[in-house]
Amino acid sequence: MVGIGYDMHRLKEGESLYLAGVKIESELGTVAHSDGDVLLHSVIDALLGAAGKGDIGEYFPDTDDKWKDADSALMTKEIISLLEKENYKIINIDLTIVTEKPKITPLKEILKESLANLCNISINQVNIKATTNEKSGFIGREEGIVVLSICQLEKKIN
């Protein structure tokens, strides 16, 4: 089973930037209802999609004050717990981060490690790619960040 995830957030000076549950030093941060961890939001959607379990908004709606400033790492752990209870096993997660700033390449290993830990998988089951939008569009103007992800799940048979 394969699922695809996509998330984007606007970027603004003075906001915090979290990726894979890691607070990133950056002059720009995400504008969001929760902590705005665009990477984890995309991965959550990919995991839910692969399991046929809907999308992130069904579990953590931005219309519910309960999720205001919520820690996306805890949201991810909740989804992983749901999948584990239903005997799903993550085969791999692959994602692409699209942003002009901050530069992602120096952060890849720490992001992979954090995501692997949150998902209870090995670091070599996670791949992170990064690109820019070549100064084009809202991403190119440093107004936003996008993450696309795909994952493969396997249903364990007891």
Strand pairing report for 144-155 and 88-98: antiparallel
Range 111-137 burial, b when 16+ CB lie within 10 A, else e: bbebbbebbebeeebbebebebbeeee
Which pLDDT value is given to residue 55?
A: 96
Q: Which amino acid is at 22?
A: V
What residues contact residue 137 under an 8 Å CB cut-off, 6+ apart?
none
Kindly report, residue by residue over 93-138, the tens digit of the pLDDT: 999 999 999 999 999 999 999 999 999 999 999 999 999 999 999 9
CB 97 within 8 A of CB 145: yes
Break the chain into its structural domains and give their ranges.
Answer: 2-155
Residue 32's CB is within 10 A of a number of other CB atoms, namely 21
Which pLDDT value is given to residue 101?
A: 92
Kindly report, residue by residue over 24-63, the tens digit of the pLDDT: 999 999 998 889 999 999 999 999 999 999 999 999 988 8
Cα–Cα distance for residue pair 21/115, rounded to 1 Å: 8
Cα–Cα distance for residue pair 8/133, rounded to 1 Å: 13
Task: Please give the model's pTM, rounded to 2 decimal places.
Answer: 0.95
* CATH of the domain spanning 2-155, picked from 3.40.50.620, 3.30.1330.50, 3.30.70.1520, 3.40.30.10: 3.30.1330.50
